[in-house]
Amino acid sequence: MARKSRKAKLMERAGSVQDPIPETGSLPRPAVFFIIAIVLLLLGVTFGIVVDVVM
């Protein structure tokens, strides 16, 4: 039975290792929803103040 060379072992190991999921640089989905909710809340409060002052 022949022994495998170091190079063959490394190539075999490299082929079996899965690549990690690449980072896209975007925010996680719950963070995006939270930011949108805060922006909508601030817009609503601002709109309410403007309507109250005008009327």
Question: What's residue 27's pLDDT?
Answer: 73
Question: What's residue 18's pLDDT?
Answer: 59
Find the radius of gyration of the CA atoms of the chain: 28
The token duo for 31 is 């963070």
Question: What's residue 34's pLDDT?
Answer: 95
The token duo for 2 is 């022949």
Number of H helices, E strands in the chain: 2, 0
The per-residue pLDDT for range 10-51, each reduced to its tens digit, is 666 655 555 566 666 777 888 899 999 999 999 999 999 999
Which residues are within 8 A (CB) of 12 and not within 5 positions of it... i.e. 6 or more apart? 4
Please state the pTM of the whole predicted model. Answer: 0.50
